[in-house]
Amino acid sequence: MIAIDTGIWIEYINTCGAFHPQAKTVIDSVDRGDATAILTPLTLAEIYYVSKRVYQEIYTQPQSAILAKKFYDFVYYHPHVEVKLLDYELCLKTGIIKTKYNIAFSDCSLLALSEHEDAIVLFKNVENEMKQNIKELKKRFNIKFLEDYS
């Protein structure tokens, strides 16, 4: 089980992305059923929002909205992807992580989910807001970054 952050999903569709080959390997393993992806509704919402922005670089506004919705549906309905609801426990853990590390709520919710499910959490790269706490984050969570595999 892998908690997959938005950045991985976006690198998968961004064939010019620096980490596209690594992201494609991860998502292809989910697509084949070799791994199960887990994510929160926050990550799912980000997938739509960010993919629409990526598609807008190439396509018209209406086309990018259609493609973003198709990608959103691909993730949401995929048989090897589980969107976990943010229940009481996960919301509380998300808030505690946000309080301690002051990183993005979507990242906090994914970290909380990975901890709750005892899963690897995979990000594209170490984001600026994570840098000051990266050693502690790596110690507490089973956190991996695509940039480490380039």
Contacts of 91 (CB under 8 A, 6+ apart): none
Number of domains in the chain: 1
For range 4-24, the mean pLDDT: 96
Calpha distance 95→77 (Å, rounded): 28
Contact yes or no for 113/119 (Cβ under 8 A): yes
pTM: 0.94
Give 38's strand partners.
Answer: 3, 82
Q: What is the CATH number of the domain that holds 33?
A: 3.40.50.1010
Q: What range defines the domain where residue 9 resides?
A: 2-149
**Which residue type occupies 100?**
K
Tokens of 51: 């993919």
Q: pLDDT (tens digit, 9 = 90+) per residue, 62-109?
A: 999 999 999 999 999 999 999 999 999 999 999 999 999 999 999 999
pLDDT band at 149 (very low <50, low <70, confident <90, very high): confident
Calpha distance 8→102 (Å, rounded): 21
The SS3 of residue 37 is strand
| Main-chain phi, psi angles of 127, to 5 degrees | -75, 155
